[in-house]
Amino acid sequence: MNKLPGKIIPIVICLCLMSNYAVPQTTQRSLLLVCSADSTLSSLSNEDIRKIFLGVPVEKDGVRIAPLLNTSDSHLTEVFLQKIIFMSRPDYERQLLSRVFRLGGKRPPEYENIPELINALHRSPGSVAFMWSDQVGDHNNLKSIGVVWTN
């Protein structure tokens, strides 16, 4: 029977223990649909969200819902477009452009700055945007009307 030399066992144990620290710990993040705390909106289905952000008119509780595109975090925008809209950014841009030329209307306004996005949500009670859950927690004047994706 082969025995490992006495020095190898402690090294193997140390490597096993260290490997737990080498693995990056992922935090769970949720993607939320948000609106102004003053809004009467309570929830929207993912299908409605997809329609809204593709420029299809959607009305709920007598209010026409307007999308505001949050581009403050490229990863956030990518997750939203891939997991909810089911398109890459270039495909989404082409779809919007095509819709505007064929049917009229306008593209959703884009906001790279969170305070500007929040101000826009407050100016228009029928507007919605998406944010990470930790971003929403920082602003008590917003309300979440649904978790649209969780990693």
pLDDT in tens, 3-44: 555 666 656 565 555 555 544 545 678 999 999 999 999 889
What's residue 62's pLDDT? Answer: 86
d(CA 111, CA 69): 6
Query: Residue 149's beta-bridge partner residues?
Result: 31
Lowest-pLDDT choice from 25-29, 51-55, 119-123, 147-151: 25-29
Helix locations, 23-149, DSSP H:
46-53, 74-80, 89-103, 114-123, 133-136
What's residue 9's pLDDT? Answer: 61
How many beta carbons lie within 10 A of that of residue 79, not counting itself?
18
d(CA 12, CA 17): 9
pTM reported for the whole predicted model: 0.79
pLDDT in tens, 44-97: 999 999 999 999 999 988 889 999 999 999 999 999 999 999 999 999 999 999
Tokens of 52: 């809204």
Domains and CATH numbers, the chain: 29-150 (3.40.190.10)
Query: What burial letters (b/e) apply to 68-78, b meaning 16+ CB within 10 Å?
Result: bbbebeeebbe
Query: What burial letters (b/e) apply to 100-119, b meaning 16+ CB within 10 Å?
Result: eeeeeeeebeebeebeebbe
What's residue 23's pLDDT? Answer: 46
